[in-house]
Amino acid sequence: MRHVLKLLPFVKPYWQKSVLSLVLLVIVVVLDLAIPRLVQHIIDQGILAGDMEEVWHTFLLMLAISVASTLFAIGNNNFSVQVGEGVARDLREALFLKVQSFSYGNLDRLKTGQLMVRLSSDSGAMLRVVQVSLRIGTRATLLMVGSIALMFITDRHLALVVVPLLLLTSGIIVYFITRMRPLFLTMQQKLDRLNTILQENISGVRVVKAFVRADHEAARFESANEDFTERNIRVVEFLSTMGPALSACINVGIVVVIWAGGVQAMHGEVTIGQIVAFVNYLQTAIGPLMIMTMLANVWAAGIVSAERLNEVLDTVPQVQDAPGAPPLPASARPRVVFEKVGFHYHDSNETIVLEDIDLVAEPGQTVAILGATGAGKSTLVNLIPRFYDPTAGRILIDGQDLRQIQQDSLLDHIGVVPQETVLFSGTVRDNIRYGRPTAGDEEVVAAARAAQAHDFVLELPQGYDTRVEERGVNLSGGQKQRLAIARALLTRPAILILDDSTSAVDVETETKIQEALEAWMEGRTCFVVAQRISTVLKADKIVVIDKGRLAAEGTHRELLQSSPIYQEIYASQLGPGPNGG
């Protein structure tokens, strides 16, 4: 409940519509509750009294009330839909903006699939909570309370006769709700599992095909699907026993009322009209109880969803600007210094990923980072744009601790080409211009030339105006990487980080890219993560990372003479032997 209440501020902008919707609802309920009263009147004063005029008058009044009630109900409906949809839209927007503010560390914890589910289905669950609260839920509650009150007003003795029955009915409802909650929660979990498998398989369908695992995945999906269906059936079966139980209560109630009422009527204590009205109120009191049990579902789902939404909304970005942190001056010629830097990811059980790294990149230098997979190379370069903060030591740019600089201004100085290329839907030009939408066409072409992308772009059907399809499926891996490099170059960063970003490019093209970069990066500082030693030969400085530690540092020549680990890498890639050549 606490979690649902925490989301209440989202309703605030719509408070007028919410109040209006509730006012209309109250009117609808009052009108609905007036009908049995008029039935009583039409019987006692009209039919039994033989007064046809009274029958007609009352009939017309009932007709008018029914029409008015319908109109007000439509109004209530419209307002509650507007509030519900508005709240859901605002929630989605807040979640979206929140996710944009996340640091890499936050994103590691909340997985893509989970975030998608939260954005779509959890905000949908809140939409239903809002609508139910403004509509059927409140209506049912008011109808029930009103009917019980009116039963007492109609005839206190008869009302007292049905009290035990109402208590029994409430007992049944409480039993159903308490039994249903756990059932419902497991159903929700099964649905989550089904969604996860679905999401993994749809996004990974190519891998599934490549490894001929379709049967395995189908079996996995089938089992989750079956599980969910079975749960669903159990819930529905359970719920369906409730209907007959409550109907039985109503029927017993009617019999009791007619019997007790009949006895009273013989003594002239109640009229036939009163008995009929009473039976009507009994029905309108127990009917909503049934509805409310169904709505318990919506609420149970809403509470679970609210909790998950709050988890996202309450997440604090791990990397934040220090209060009053100044921007990095635009004139910076960055000298990047790592001082005793250590790092571990939060989720990796405190396993040390980087330890005691001391490293200096002078302005204009290209520093190459070499090492086995998993050595910590990407982690090291991810610390420079503050995708993560070091857990020990510090990193300085021009003598300033990164944590004391505005992150946005830091990022303005850094161009990153990540390991995995991400292209957005749009044209090739849009993608290159992503980091600097104001760049002119000549600049786009110049950046594309430097990244060795210009030639292949011209060969595309519409050149720079060719649309990049979803995930860039109409481009090869190497082409995508070159577009990503052009995108980074176009921002003219003072620091360029290439994280294994020529891995899918052939050696010849890679050499061309490097040559072009040399001119382009004049006076700028460059970090190149590489697997291939051919990539790093010309770097001003090569550092070898081994199991998170800096194992060797120097130029190619120096390392070839002094570092056994470098010699080993060199021999395995370029020297004689099975891989050589």
Output 101 or 348, the one with its CB closest to ligand ADP. Answer: 348
Cα–Cα dist 92/340, whole Å: 42
**Residue 260, CA atoms < 13 Å, CB-side half-sphere:** 17
Binding part of the chain for ligand ADP, among 260-268, 340-348, 359-367, 517-525 by CB under 6 A, reads 340-348
Task: Determine the size of the site formed for ligand ADP (CB under 6 A).
Answer: 13
- Residue range at the interface with ligand ADP (CB under 6 A); choices 14-22, 47-55, 252-260, 374-382: 374-382
CB of 460 to ligand ADP, least distance (A): 31
Nearest distance from C-beta of residue 6 to ligand ADP, angstroms = 29
Asked if 57 contacts 301 with a C-beta cutoff of 8 angstroms, the reply is no
Under the criterion CB under 6 A, does residue 353 sit at the interface with ligand ADP? yes
The span of 151-159, 327-335, 377-385, 446-454 binding ligand ADP (CB under 6 A) equals: 377-385
User: Which residue in 395, 431, 391 sits closest to 410, CA to CA?
Assistant: 395
Least distance from ligand ADP to the Cβ atom of residue 352, Å? 10
In whole angstroms, how close is the CB of 577 to ligand ADP at the nearest point? 23
Which of 36, 334, 376, 390 is close enough to bind ligand ADP by CB under 6 A?
376
* Residue keyed to tokens 């249903």: 180
Q: How far from 333 is each of 329, 337, 389, 495, 521, CA to CA, in Å? A: 9, 13, 22, 9, 12
* List 195, 280, 379, 501, residue binding ligand ADP (CB under 6 A): 379
SS (H, E, C) 345-390: CCCCCCCCCEEEEEEEECCCCEEEEEECCCCCHHHHHHCCCCCCCC
Choose, by CB under 6 A, the member of 374, 440, 564, 580 that binds ligand ADP: 374
In the bound state with ligand ADP, the residue whose beta carbon lies nearer, of 152 and 345, is: 345
Positive/negative CA dihedral, 299, 305, 309, 315: positive
Q: Which residue number, 80 or 378, has a Cβ lying nearer to ligand ADP? A: 378
Q: DSSP letter string over 167-206?
A: HHHHHHHHHHHHHHHHHHHHHHHHHHHHHHHHHHHHHTHH
**Backbone phi, then psi, for 495, in 5-degree steps?**
-125, 130
378 counts as binding ligand ADP under rule CB under 6 A? yes
CB of 497 to ligand ADP, least distance (A): 12
Interaction between residue 375 and ligand ADP (CB under 6 A): yes
| Closest CB to ligand ADP among residues 118, 377 | 377
Query: Applying CB under 6 A, does 221 fall inside the site for ligand ADP?
Result: no
Q: For residue 112, give both structure tokens.
A: 């893509």
Q: How far is the CB of 373 from ligand ADP (least distance, A)?
A: 4
Q: Does 438 bind ligand ADP (CB under 6 A)?
A: no
Q: Which is nearer to ligand ADP, 158 or 381 (CB)?
A: 381
Nearer to ligand ADP, 105 or 327 (CB): 105
* Amino acid, single-letter form, for residue 202: I
Q: Which is nearer to ligand ADP, 108 or 443 (CB)?
A: 108
Indicate which single residue of 347, 408, 420, 515 sits in contact with ligand ADP (rule: CB under 6 A).
347
With binding defined as CB under 6 A, does residue 348 bind ligand ADP?
A: yes
Distance between CA atoms of 404 and 407, rounded to whole angstroms?
Answer: 9
Which of 39/551 has CB closer to ligand ADP?
A: 551
Residue (331 or 373) nearer to ligand ADP, CB: 373
Q: Which helix (H) or strand (E) holds 499?
A: strand 495-499
390: contact with ligand ADP by CB under 6 A? no
**Among 20-28, 110-118, 368-376, 406-414, which window interacts with ligand ADP (CB under 6 A)?**
368-376
The distance of closest approach from Cβ of residue 1 to ligand ADP in the complex, given in angstroms and rounded to an integer, is 34
C-beta of 275 vs 354, nearer to ligand ADP: 354
- Give me 182's structure tokens: 């756990």
From CA 305, how far away is CA 185, in angstroms rounded?
11
Q: Indicate whether 329 belongs to the interface with ligand ADP (CB under 6 A).
A: no
Task: Please compute Rg for the chain using Cα positions.
Answer: 36
Alpha-carbon torsion, ordered 453, 458, 459, 460, to 10 deg: 90
Name the token pair of 117: 């589910």
Window of 63-71, 312-320, 369-377, 437-445 that interacts with ligand ADP by CB under 6 A = 369-377
Q: Indicate which single residue of 334, 371, 385, 415 sits in contact with ligand ADP (rule: CB under 6 A).
A: 371
Among 331, 349, 373, 438, binds ligand ADP (CB under 6 A): 373
The minimum distance between CB 536 and ligand ADP, in angstroms, equals 14
| 353: Cβ contacts below 8 Å, ≥ 6 apart | 343, 344, 345, 376, 379, 548
Task: Count, in order, helices (H) and strands (E) of the chain.
Answer: 21, 12
Pairing mode of beta strands 354-361, 336-343: antiparallel
Site for ligand ADP in 93-112 (CB under 6 A): 108
- For the record, the structure tokens of 398 come out as 């021009």
DSSP 255-267: HHHHHHHHHHHHT
The least distance separating ligand ADP from the CB of residue 378, rounded to whole angstroms, comes to 3
Residues at the contact surface with ligand ADP, assessed by CB under 6 A? 108, 345, 347-348, 353, 371, 373-379
